Amino acid sequence: MTFKINHHLKNSLARSGAITTPHGSIETPAFIAVGTAATVKALTPEQVKSTGSQAVLANTYHLHLRPGEDIVSKSGGLHDFMNWSGPTYTDSGGFQVFSLGEAFGSGVSKVASGEEVSIDAQDQRISNAKKAKIDDEGVSFYSHIDGKHLRLTPENSMQIQHKLGADIIFAFDECTSPHASHEYQLKAWERTHAWAKRCIKEHHKLSKGDKSYISLFGVVQGGRFEDLRRLSAKELAKLDFDGFGIGGSFNKSDMGTAVRWVCEELPVAKPRHLLGIGEPSDIFDGIENGIDTFDCVSPTRIARNGSVYTYDGRKNISTSPYRSSLAPIDTLCGCYTCENFNLSYLHHLIKSSEILFTTLLSIHNLHFITKLVDDIRESINHETFYQFKSDFIAKYYR
């Protein structure tokens, strides 16, 4: 993997560039489509490509449980298994540790949106005991599929991801609650940093022969605390990573600030990926503060609930105002759905429980987000970013 910066936006950390992998290049900033189980839900690889998506991210935890990394490997690796010829990413499984542990049954997200709630280390250990137990060596958890007891460590996270064979993989980390105390976040950072070193060691051992193309990204954590975020970034920057992921565990309203703390400490010449973030306002904030790539399930998830992104804001087209509308979802959109179907038809599909609606709305949403990031990239190149951001936000969130 190589990374080339083409343009730095004046008075900003934003930049445009290109990540080159053996399976193709990614013009950055870029939105990476999420294909959790080696499929972007409801879409064929050809449909994903038609949205302008340059790369796909698959989920290590889910593919480990089903069908298993050995089957993927025997099928020729992730690219052949899912018939995707472009670049691929796999996450480490760290977020699933969080969702089975701290977040299990609590409604806590990795990104906080409300009042701060302090959770001390003892409370977090009690919560983790529900489905996942974290120790300094790794994580013990139970499969959500069949209840089987499993173990995930930095070493086997690397082994699983190498068998999956993505172009870019992530170090195993502990994703913490945004409400966790400074004391616990410090302990979690110490653990994550130790795991990062173990991931590098195992990755180097496995990076031989036909797997030498795989690049490893470290993951910055530290919660909502500036000292820990900067510490995590500084220490990871000293290690032999090809790029960096930035984990969640922050307040949504402070996301841009938290990202800036990190990007001010990370090496300029290496790419930065913001994990699990994909709403329009978050994308602008992330890019302005130094992010190169994003991934998020939101475009396809909200599509399955009947919601779409438009240049006039987010809309739920299952509601009655769209029953007789002959307009497309968005007159400014050039996706397959908007060029061929009107809102009354899409509304009809939803109300009739026809599964085609999930495909058509997913095509639109993925195209919309991908095109938005493409346009942001062009605005960086032409030094019009701030005007573009102002115009978009004013219209989208009015």
Domain hosting 123: range is 2-296
Number of domains making up the chain: 2
Q: Which of 316, 287, 305 lies closest to 380, judged by CA?
A: 287
Among candidate residues 167, 282, 285, 295, the one labeled active-site is 295
Domain co-membership, 370 together with 285: no
Mean pLDDT, the chain, whole residue set = 91
Amino acid 267: pLDDT: 98
pLDDT digits (tens, 9 = 90+) for 232-288: 999 999 999 999 999 877 777 789 999 999 999 999 999 999 999 989 999 999 999
Tell me whether residue 301 is in a domain.
no
Q: Pick the last residue of a domain from 274, 296, 318.
A: 296
Tell me whether residue 343 is in a domain.
yes
Whether residue 118 has pLDDT greater than 50: no
Whether residue 27 has pLDDT greater than 70: yes
Domain co-membership, 260 together with 368: no
Domain co-membership, 6 together with 151: yes
Residue 46: count other Cβ atoms within 10 Å of its Cβ: 9
Tell me whether residue 131 is in a domain.
yes
Amino acid 112: pLDDT: 57
Domain co-membership, 314 together with 291: no
Domain co-membership, 190 together with 104: yes
Tell me whether residue 6 is in a domain.
yes
Domain co-membership, 174 together with 291: yes
Q: Which two tokens stand for residue 383?
A: 């030094």
Tell me whether residue 107 is in a domain.
yes
Q: CA 34 to CA 339: how far, in whole Å? A: 24
Q: CA 151 to CA 138: how far, in whole Å? A: 7
Q: CA 153 to CA 394: how far, in whole Å? A: 45
Tell me whether residue 89 is in a domain.
yes
Amino acid 179: pLDDT: 86
Q: Pick the last residue of a domain from 296, 326, 354.
A: 296
Q: Pick the last residue of a domain from 266, 296, 326.
A: 296
Domain co-membership, 255 together with 337: no
Tell me whether residue 197 is in a domain.
yes
Residue 295: active-site member = yes
Question: Residue type at 209?
Answer: G
Residue 91: active-site member = yes
pLDDT-wise least confident of 31-35, 59-63, 118-122, 301-305: 118-122
Tell me whether residue 167 is in a domain.
yes
Amino acid 100: pLDDT: 61
Would the pTM count as exceeding 0.85?
Answer: yes
Among candidate residues 91, 242, 285, 330, the one labeled active-site is 91
Q: CA 16 to CA 29: how far, in whole Å? A: 6
Domain co-membership, 163 together with 45: yes
Domain co-membership, 333 together with 289: no
